[in-house]
Structure 1
């Protein structure tokens, strides 16, 4: 008669299985931490460069945006590529919480740079006020977007929406700083954009609590810009045709 495990004894193979998978998760987590740490350093560099827009007239933004693209966004794209290659080997929704904030920040730096007139190509030169679609962002970063047919790394709709709320906050700040630089036209341009953006958000059926709360905050960005426009109007600083 074959020997069997004594009563109340755990099968050793169960422990070995748990040990192997536990070690794998630790290794995956360590690698993801390493990649995202590098990515976050590039994001910090990019965001630091973009803060200069608040003291640079729009007519002189081109050299700054070129520097942002070369020194900030290009390294971001390289790190996202490394992240995509590694993360696609594992279940997306098991690990995406480790990088989703970083990806959101990458998207927001790209969206803001493009809105200010950067990220142009030979076929489509940069222009002030241009909002990139999520598909255009995916092409720039060279990763899929909103994947539904396979389990792999991608930029999600939620990350894109959250990035939009980020740039609305940054642009509302820019609207005020543009006044101090005498760039009233840019302030008016920002005002129109954030209003349109908020109106667009109202058409969405948002079920994600985080996205909904962040979108709700956009109305305060709109109000901040409206207050600036109202003050300029009282002072007759906005030309009638622009208004």
Structure 2
């Protein structure tokens, strides 16, 4: 005979896990909703001249700071439970947030909220410090930003910058594609140094070369039409 209390105990544990997932899901849903708002505002950069971007970046910064508050809420709950059991619930939204942070910083935003040593490119440590969360934890089972999430966010940013290079030409800005070209090529060179084991990350990183080629094609066309001054590649 099997003691039915075994299954009653299992049901209790299932109910407890369901409660945890529901609580985390509610926070992640709010984070996702804020994230869509952030991305919608950032998309205005594709139709706004570079010298008129400040109002857009100010609005983006407000949304990013609101998302930061949700990350703080998420961390408080997630720290009470095994990280890798639940991190799939928020990993995608955290990647999207980091991509928005990186793009906003590259465009010149978040100046008042970054560290004094930060440039337009934010390292994983810069992002962790900005969000006030640990990164790449190895000896502690707690909420953190993983290297994989950070790299996937960089890939998403490169794809968006490639699109921005094309739209900048439409706006008559022939300097920004040169700046984007130099940046994405340096980033691509950095990715080539990595020996990636994660299948998804490896496949996504392979796509960077297509984004680089897209930007190089834009710069090449500008050069053919003499729309870029000599030495403009170092802009």
**TM-score, normalised relative to structure 2:** 0.95
Show the counterpart of 1:203: 193
Show the counterpart of 2:69: 78
Secondary structure in 1 matching 2:53: helix
8 Å contact kept, 1:178–1:187: yes
Give, in whole Å, the separation in 1 of the partners of 2:232 and 2:222.
Answer: 12
Within-5 A mapping of 1:1-243: 9-70=1-62, 72-121=63-112, 124=116, 130-243=120-233
Show the counterpart of 1:3: none
CA RMSD across the alignment: 1.4
Which structure has the larger Rg over C-alpha atoms?
1
Secondary structure in 1 matching 2:175: helix
Give, in whole Å, the separation in 2 of the partners of 1:242 and 1:223.
Answer: 18
For residues 160-204 of structure 1, what are the alpha-carbon distances to aligned partners after superposition, in whole Å with 9 as ceiling and x for unaligned? 000000000000000001011111111100011111111110000
Stretch deviating more after TM superposition (136-145 or 118-127)? 118-127
**Structure 2: runs of 5 or more not aligned:** none
For residues 7-49 of structure 1, what are the alpha-carbon distances to aligned partners after superposition, in whole Å with 9 as ceiling and x for unaligned? xx11233212211110011111111111111000000010000
8 Å contact kept, 1:117–1:126: no
8 Å contact kept, 2:118–2:126: no
How far has the Cα of 1:151 moved from its partner?
Answer: 0.3
Give, in whole Å, the separation in 2 of the partners of 1:59 and 1:125.
Answer: 24
Secondary structure in 2 matching 1:207: coil
**Structure 1: runs of 5 or more not aligned:** 1-8
Give, in whole Å, the separation in 1 of the partners of 2:177 and 2:134.
Answer: 34
8 Å contact kept, 1:111–1:131: yes
CA 1:198–1:19: 2 relative to 1, 3 Å: same
The number of residues matched between the two structures is 232
Give, in whole Å, the separation in 2 of the partners of 1:59 and 1:180.
Answer: 15
How far has the Cα of 1:125 moved from its partner?
Answer: 9.3
Show the counterpart of 1:4: none
Give, in whole Å, the separation in 2 of the partners of 1:25 and 1:91.
Answer: 11
8 Å contact kept, 2:165–2:177: yes
Give, in whole Å, the separation in 2 of the partners of 1:82 and 1:148.
Answer: 22
Secondary structure in 1 matching 2:148: helix
